[in-house]
Amino acid sequence: MPIINLKVSGEEDAALAKELAVIISGLTKKVLNKKPEVTVVTVSFVPDNFWFINSESLEDLQTKSFHLTIKISDSTNLKNDKANYIDAVHEALALRLGGIHPVSYTAIEEMKADAYGYEGLTIEYKLIHNRIKLEK
Q: What radius of gyration, in Å, describes the C-alpha atoms of the chain?
A: 17
The pLDDT assigned to 131 comes to 79
Going by C-alpha positions, the residue among 108, 116, 90 that lies closest to residue 5 is: 108
Its pTM stands at 0.91
Mean pLDDT value of segment 89-112: 96
C-alpha span between 74 and 127 (Å, rounded):
12
Adjacent-strand bridge partners of 118 = 121
Q: Is domain 3-135 given the CATH code 3.40.630.10 in the classification?
A: no
Domain ranges of the chain: 3-135
- In order, the DSSP letters of 48-96 are GGG-EETTEEHHHHT-B-EEEEEEEETTSS-HHHHHHHHHHHHHHHHHH
Q: How many residues does the chain have?
A: 136
What value does the mean pLDDT of the chain take? 95
What does the pLDDT look like over 60-92, one tens digit per residue?
A: 999 999 999 999 999 899 999 999 999 999 999
Tell me which residue of 59, 44, 58, 60 sits closest to 5, measured CA to CA: 44
pLDDT digits (tens, 9 = 90+) for 42-66: 999 999 999 999 999 999 999 999 9
Q: How confident is the model at residue 97 (pLDDT cuts 50, 70, 90)?
A: very high
